[in-house]
Amino acid sequence: MLKHLYIHNFILIDKLELDFDTGLTVLTGETGAGKSILLGALHLVLGDRADTDTIRQGTDFAEIVAEFDVSTHTSICSWLVTQELNAEDECILRRRITRDGRSRAYINGTPVNLQNIRELAEMLMDIHGQHEHQSMMKPAVQRQLLDDYAAHSELLKKVSNQFVELKLVEEQYQHLLQTTTQRNDRVDLLRFQTRELDELALEDNEYLQLNTQHQRLANAESLQNGVQQTLYSLSDDDNRNIQSGLAGLQQLLEKLADMDKSLLPAVEFIQNAQLQLDESISLLRGYQDTIELDNQRLAETESRIQTILDLARKHQVAPEFLHETHQNLLKELHDIDHADERLDELKLQYEQLEQKYLLSSKRLSESRHAAARKLNKNITRAMQTLGMSGGKFIIEINSTDTTQYSAHGLDKIEFTVTANSGQTCKPVARVASGGELARISLAIQMIIAKTSKIPTLIFDEVDSGIGGGIADIVGQHLASLGQTNQLICITHLAQVASQGQHHLLVEKHTRSHNVSSHVVSLTPAQRIEEIARMLSGVKITAQSRVHAEEMLTHAKTDNAH
């Protein structure tokens, strides 16, 4: 769960530190006070794209740090261990953006990329925005909601992978089919190109070897003279050479060492030097025998190198890659020559993959149908408590044409609803009013959240468009959900705010033309004042205070039960 949030130089916030607890925490405040800023800071630390406009005016950077307790969440701990980011029972996310547009992200003090942050964020926190009821009308969102509830991610992944394999084989088949229809012209060109390269008979790495050989042949005379001169100085000069001189010095030192044993190391060094010198002379004599003054071979080598360069230029490749190009052309020619065989192989491979994909898609569909039956029942029940008595919610699942394969399987998923008894369910986008749609969205979010393994849930004014007795029920639902999850709810409804176990107030202050947002944790007495303000507006009356106190008392009694 979220334990601590630190925000520095973010939009209107100078510096803010907040502690969070279990249960339901409500955030309230006047419009424009900065409630959305807190949510924006959380989005940023959880991996959203950075924007320098969010840096507080007059400062060079913004920084957000979120600290989570993950001691009871083995999946999160396992992920951190796998990524070598483990810090026992804590998980600290840190995000820093600077005025020059740079952004840095950290998990437990280790720099990471945003993909790591986002992957972890999906396990730590789920944020339900106030406009989610608008996105709920999109088919992709409806499918995702059902799949999340069904918790069949492995099956989804299997279907997606099989679809990718299927498309890859299909593309190979179509490409080869298209190639075979144009193969006459292509075959003539390939035969000409491969014939030239066949005649060259270039071996792998031959070009590099030819260059080395050319270097030796072109400099054979200089190499021979240099080696002869070196051998003459080392051992062949009868009057004075290094080998005999070193041997004489060794004999002298050996006699001296008989007089003073401390010279023995020097004797040993001279002996080693003598051995090294003997080996060098032997190596040079052997090398001397390999030096060729062969002008004909030099000319042949230069001619072959030039042929390789000409053909490499013709095929627009580096000469060292000409052998690989030859092999690729041979393979292409072979594939075209045996295209019919290859087409049959790809067709059989496609049919086998198709059967696997269809089987997995069928299992996915069965899982969706099972999850939909439960979700229909639970959401319909929730609708009865949200002012839609007799309403019904049904998820329609229909298999598409089997030729219309997708990475999500074969199902077409559509949320249908009726807010009144006895009426036929129709797509939510066509029959639900704005207020009804918001309540349906809230019902879905609450039902899904109850099965969620994510420890922290945030509801951002999802109670928008609701009032009266329905607002009381929404508040009770959220309070009930807060008994199993850490719940943070940004709300403008007194009925919801009164249900909170913890209450944070967002305020905006102006000092010397400098505007800033602050958050304070309310005492019981301060909560009465804030609830009264939410009930009566700018002018707080004695009656609204009494009403606020009654609401808080009732909420406390209800939560105790």
> 67-107, pLDDT tens digit by residue?
999 988 888 888 888 888 876 788 999 999 999 989 999 99
Residue 195 and residue 307 in one domain: yes
229 and 313 together in one domain: yes
Paired tokens of 335: 């594939």
Instruction: Give, to the nearest 10 degrees, the angle between helix 322-337 and helix 153-181.
Output: 80
- Does residue 293 lie in a domain region? yes
Beta bridge partners of 61: 98
According to the model, what pLDDT value does residue 237 have?
Answer: 82
- Report how far residue 374's alpha carbon sits from residue 150's, in angstroms, rounded to the nearest whole number: 10
Domain termination residue (choose one: 321, 337, 353): 337
Tell whether 516 and 492 lie within a shared domain. yes
* Residues ≥6 apart with Cβ < 8 Å to 404: 410
| pTM as predicted | 0.60
Q: Are 441 and 422 in contact (CB under 8 A)?
A: no
Q: Band of the pLDDT at 161, cuts 50, 70, 90?
A: very high
pLDDT of residue 135: 66
Would residue 398 count as lying in a domain?
Answer: no
For residue 490, is it within any domain? yes
Position 240 scores a pLDDT of 81
DSSP3 helix / strand / coil % (the chain, rounded to 5): 60, 15, 25
| 329 and 248, same domain (yes or no) | yes
pLDDT at 35 over 90: no
Q: Is residue 527 part of a domain?
A: yes
**Domain region containing 82:** 1-130+453-521
- Given 311, 337, 363, the domain boundary residue is 337
> Do 1 and 42 belong to one domain?
yes
Residue 382, in any domain of the structure: no
Question: Is 298 within a domain?
Answer: yes
In a domain, 176, yes or no: no
As a whole number, mean pLDDT of residues 139-162 equals: 90
Check whether residue 537 and residue 554 sit in a common domain: yes
549: in domain = yes
pLDDT score of 401 more than 70 = no
Please state, as a whole number, how many other Cβ atoms lie within 10 Å of the Cβ of residue 63.
20
Q: Are residues 322 and 212 in the same domain?
A: yes
- Residue 470 pLDDT class (50, 70, 90 cuts): confident
Lowest mean pLDDT among 69-78, 141-150, 170-179, 506-515: 506-515
Is the separation of the CB atoms in 386 and 376 below 8 Å? no
What's residue 59's pLDDT? 92
- Give the CATH number, domain containing residue 20: 3.40.50.300
- Which residues share a beta bridge with 504? 27, 521
Give yes or no: residues 209 and 308 share one domain.
yes
Given 337, 359, 388, the domain boundary residue is 337
* Strand ranges in 100-242 using DSSP code E only, listed in sequence order: 103-107, 110-112, 125-128
Q: What is the percentage of the chain residues whose pLDDT exceeds 70?
A: 93
pLDDT of residue 132: 57
Q: Outline where 390-541 has alpha helix (H).
A: 428-431, 434-450, 468-481, 494-497, 524-536
Tell me, yes or no, whether 102 and 222 share the same domain.
Answer: no
- Mean pLDDT within 379-387: 86
What would the mean pLDDT of 407-426 be, rounded to a whole number?
Answer: 89
Number of domains, the chain: 3
In this prediction, residues 432-458 reach a mean pLDDT of 74
CA-nearest of 422, 433, 290, 409 to 357 is 409
Amino acid at 374: K
Q: What is the mean pLDDT of residues 458-465?
A: 75
Q: Are residues 106 and 241 in the same domain?
A: no
pLDDT for the residue 227: 86
Q: Give the chain's mean pLDDT.
A: 86
Q: Which residues pair with 67 in a beta bridge?
A: 4, 92
Q: How far is it, in rounded angstroms, from Cα 95 to Cα 10? A: 11
The Cβ of residue 130 has, within 10 Å, a number of other Cβ atoms equal to 20
Token representation of residue 36: 């959305």
Residue type, 221: E
**Residues 189 and 78 placed together within one structural domain of the fold:** no
Six-digit token string for 400: 């598409």
> E strands within 233-273?
none
Q: Are residues 324 and 190 in the same domain?
A: yes
